[in-house]
Chain A
Amino acid sequence: MLNGIDDEEKWLAEGIAGIQHNAFYMHQALDSNNLREALKYSAQMLSELRTSKLSPHKYYELYMRAFDELRKLEMFFKEDSKHGVSVIDLYELVQHAGNILPRLYLLCTVGSVYIKSKEAPAKEVLKDLVEMCRGVQHPIRGLFLRSYLAQISRDKLPDIGSEYEGDADTVMDAVEFVLQNFTEMNKLWVQMQHQGPGRFREKQEKERSELRDLVGKNLHVLSQIEGVDLGIYKETVLTRVLEQVVNCKDDLAQYYLMDCIIQVFPDEYHLQTLETLLGACPQLQVIEAQVDMPAVGAITLYVSLLTFTLCVHPDRLDYVDQVLGACVKKLYNIPKLEDSRAMKQVVALLSAPLEKYNDIVTALTLSNYPRVMDHLDNGTNKVMAMVIIQSIMKNNTFISTAHKVEVLFELIKGLIKDKDGADVDELDEEDFKDEQNSVARLIHMLYNDEPEEMLKIICIVRKHTMAGGPKRLPFTVPSLVFSALRLVWRLQGQEGDIVGEEVPATPKKIFQLLTQIIEALSAVPSPELALRLYLQCAEAANGCDLELVAYEFFTQAFVLYEEEIADSKAQVTAIHLIIGTLQRMNVFGVENRDTMTHKTTGYSARLLKKPDQCRAVYACSHLFWVDDQDGIKDGERVLLCLKRALRIANAAQQMANVARGSSGPVILFVEILNKYLYFFEKGNQQITGAAIQDLIELINTEMQSDSATPDTASDAFLASTLRYIQFQKQKGGVMGEKFEAIKF
């Protein structure tokens, strides 16, 4: 290998020496105006370029030497007074050279003078030159020759505004010329890979890379032609260039040239021709040749393109959509991507617009967006859906129309419902929770100030979430319910303003909807949650003054309680919720309220454990005493409740005695004492200081009994309760006097 490099250096040195030697005699001939000798020595000099021994890099060095010398020769050719031969004759004369490479270098050099002389139309000369250069098919030599042609012709193209433009020479001729030279150069460049033995493939690739700019230069020249407007670009330039790019079936070339096209031409052009540009992509070798990893390359390409589009024309969503559309077309043949790398690329593709716009709403207007998502596998689809949701959350974006919501749900449907035949077993519980919590959060971002639209949104969300199945509903329904309730509260505030008969969004309607929604949840079954939501709705209905609706919700809650909630702990929780909610209800008439309270106290007393019973019952006491102006204040029934609680507490003590031989903690009594004190303070006439006094004594007795279990919590609770009484006494005033009645 080392030898190879040494040899190359040697060959290069020999080549340079050859050029210098002949250039010396050429200079002499030029100085003495001897055309014949000048041609002879220049041809010999150029023969050094016929070498096959040099790598492109070294060959370039040699070429540059010759190039400099040719400039001097060109100067000489220009001065026909010195050599006495017309440029037309000169053009023939140089073609007498027997070796093709020197011949063509000389022809190009004279051609340059010929065009400048304007003795023939520029296009004729250019056409002849580009055609004649076909004779050199050796890739490296051909590339350099044609690059020389490109170089000398650059300032002589019949471009618009150029001095070489004329009736016969139009910008199309200039384009035609450059395109042809480009095409031939690319062919040569691609051909390079077939030269020499295959084991040097790596080296070849490297050498080819070194030469790529010679090819790309043509595209740059094209882009510099003033006369290439969008029309010409679209109809001629791009079509032809792409044709070449596609047909050359070489991935290195395709990769480089596509990049080149995008780099050198104005972005405006690309956007106007996106369809064409993208149309070519699926035909590229990168995609076609490698059957086992087809999608990655293609999609990577689309990602770059999209990123590019986003940067350049963020305001042109249609372009972005086009890119996605093209990608969909490409993916059309692959129902589901299997390749994880491809998948990553698709995620990148889809994430790009989100990152750019920081706004999912924009992405929602892209019609092809969901179509691309369809091509993801379930896992990736979910990942992507999560990306979308996170984007919404991060940017605090509200999705404000029903249509957008619809599209959004289409996008994230992977999270919303199970796909057919999806493997549910494999789901990671934690991930699933994360996902569903995200969806729940998302529901709160769907918002519109217009009740009517908001209702539509709710209906859409409902439609989608209802399909979610038993595992999802517990996550999504609460959000939906609260979202709906929020609307209810808003309507409630506006109630006075609503005029007209056909108001689509009325609380009543929403409540109907809610009933159905929660029903679904209870059927799942998730009765505890459903019960809570019913109660929540009942409270909202209360706010709207809808007694029957509220009643219905309560009924539902009770039904659930009776039929579905069997667990005793759940029952305790449920009953307390019911009590709490019912307490705040003020919409019920006496009869309905009685029914409710009756039921509630009944359930309370039927709880399994005595302490639970006791607590529920004393809590029920609040049902009869609402500390509002118009609130119910039924002191007698409060007392009844409390007494009943005491009885149960007693029973609990006895049960403890029987069961364990020691009495239970007196904490229940202390708790009841507190209730007593509360109502006493609130002015319930039925609660007397004497009664409280008795209770305290009872507690003390219990605590001092032999069988009492020492319980610091109860002691502390009692102590602080007593301290409170003491405190109230000392405070004086009306309350102080009241408390004076309690003696202990």
Chain B
Amino acid sequence: MNYLVGAFKPPCNVFISFADGRSRKQVPLKKENGKTVMVALFQSQENIVGEVVIEPIHGKKVEHNGVKIELLGQIELYFDRGNFYDFTSLVRELDIPGELYERKTYPFEFSTVEMPYESYNGVNVRLRYILKVTISRNFVSNIVECQDFVVRNYTPPPSINNSIKMEVGIEDCLHIEFEYSKSKYHLKDVIIGKIYFLLVRIKLKNMELEIRRRESTGSGPNTYVETETLAKFELMDGAAVRGESIPIRLFLSPYELTPTYRNINNKFSVKYYLNLVLVDEEDRRYFKQQEITMYRLLEAS
């Protein structure tokens, strides 16, 4: 019985660990099975240093055609599930072909790795980074072990950050002017603004501000666009009259936002919009959508 079980088990355990694993920041990552695990966080240009431990199961010998570790940056489009597009692929050979009898440790290092894109888990697309250890074998399948890690890239505050100001309306019905203090926000930012009512001839019920994420994947005829409303934030209860101004203050921190991604390797893009919605007493909705740019501000350590 024991024997039988063992026959289908890999003959060894593979552990991948980072040199600074204890001190490095861990962030949650949602796996395919829906479970959330904590994984190490990196940013572009960092050295990814660690070791791989291969531990043959007691009393077993592992024959192999070589051991390698790869650092892969992959984009997976869900309409094309299973096909990974590697935009980054680095390899380190860890061992020449031979046999393993006992636990062996292989240090590895990828220096100043270029990781231009952030890890992303979207509706139709996933961008992930993994370390993949492959123990190549003849006749039987290779032993493969993967370790996810997350990449986030930080941007300094933009030098130009204009406010968004716009007058919109329906002729002789509704004229408003809104103003958001900035067009670029970091993920923990606050949207400050005001809405001025210049003309109100419809019976408004309320007004809200939505944060919408627009993810578009693929290209050409195969473009898929998915829009999610991440936040619905009520700005006004009741009807403002002409001359009134309503303040906006929306904290972004409670929402799971990412930076804006424009054309990630020609595969996908993620954009954010502020959607101002006015609802009248008959539940008709009047809205105006404005794109904002999200960026990840380097947090003070």
A residues in contact (CB < 8 Å) with B:
50, 92, 95-96, 98-101, 103, 131-132, 134-139, 141-142, 187, 191
Contact = CB atoms under 8 A, between A and B. Distances in A.
A137 B249 contact: no
B236 A135 contact: yes
B237 A98 contact: no
Contacts of B233: 98
A243 to B, nearest CB: 14
Contacts of B251: 92, 95-96
B240 interface: yes
B199 to A, nearest CB: 15
B238 A137 contact: yes
B246 A134 contact: yes
B238 A138 contact: yes
A138 B239 contact: yes
B262 interface: no
Interface in B220-238: 231-238
A138 B244 CA distance: 13
A35 to B, nearest CB: 14
Contacts of A142: 237-238
Given A100-B236, A100-B237, A191-B241, 7 more contacts: A95-B251, A98-B232, A103-B234, A134-B246, A135-B234, A135-B235, A139-B238
A132 B247 contact: yes
B156 interface: no
B189 to A, nearest CB: 12
B232 A135 contact: no
Contact of A137 (B231, B232, B240, B253): B240
A284 B246 CA distance: 28
A137 B247 contact: no
Contacts, number: 53
A584 to B, nearest CB: 89
B6 interface: no
Nearest to A190: B241
Given A96-B254, A98-B232, A132 B237 contact: no
B153 interface: no
A141 B235 CA distance: 14
B124 interface: no
User: For chain B, what secondary structure do more than half of its interface residues adopt (helix, strand, loop), or is it mixed?
Assistant: strand
Nearest to A142: B238
A98 B241 contact: no
Contacts of A103: 234
Contacts of A187: 241
B238 A134 contact: no
Which bracket fits the contact residues of B? 20 to 34
B88 interface: no
A135 B248 CA distance: 8
Interface string B170-202: 000000000000000000000000000000000
B237 A141 contact: yes
B245 interface: yes
Interface string B21-33: 0000000000000
Interface string B2-46: 000000000000000000000000000000000000000000000
A98 B234 contact: yes
11 contacts: A98-B232, A98-B233, A100-B235, A100-B237, A134-B244, A135-B236, A137-B237, A137-B238, A137-B244, A141-B238, A191-B241
Contacts of B238: 136-139, 141-142
B254 A135 contact: no
A136 B205 CA distance: 11
A273 to B, nearest CB: 28
Contacts of B240: 137
B234 A99 contact: yes
A509 B254 CA distance: 104
A141 B234 CA distance: 15
Contacts of A100: 206, 234-237
B239 to A, nearest CB: 6
A689 to B, nearest CB: 115
A134 B239 contact: no
A744 B251 CA distance: 138
Contact of B239 (A50, A92, A137): A137
**Most chain A CB neighbours (cut-off 10 Å) among B231, B234, B235, B246:** B234
Nearest to B234: A100
A101 B237 CA distance: 7
A103 B250 CA distance: 11
A321 to B, nearest CB: 40
**Most chain B CB neighbours (cut-off 10 Å) among A131, A135, A138, A187:** A135
Nearest to A101: B237
A139 B251 CA distance: 27
Contacts of B234: 98-100, 103, 135
A617 to B, nearest CB: 99
B249 A95 contact: yes
A195 B14 CA distance: 71
B237 A134 contact: no
Given A96-B254, A98-B233, A100-B234, A131 B247 contact: yes
A104 to B, nearest CB: 9
Nearest to B244: A137
Nearest to B197: A137
A131 B249 CA distance: 11
Nearest to A137: B238
A438 to B, nearest CB: 58
Nearest to B194: A134
A191 B206 CA distance: 16
Interface string B136-161: 00000000000000000000000000
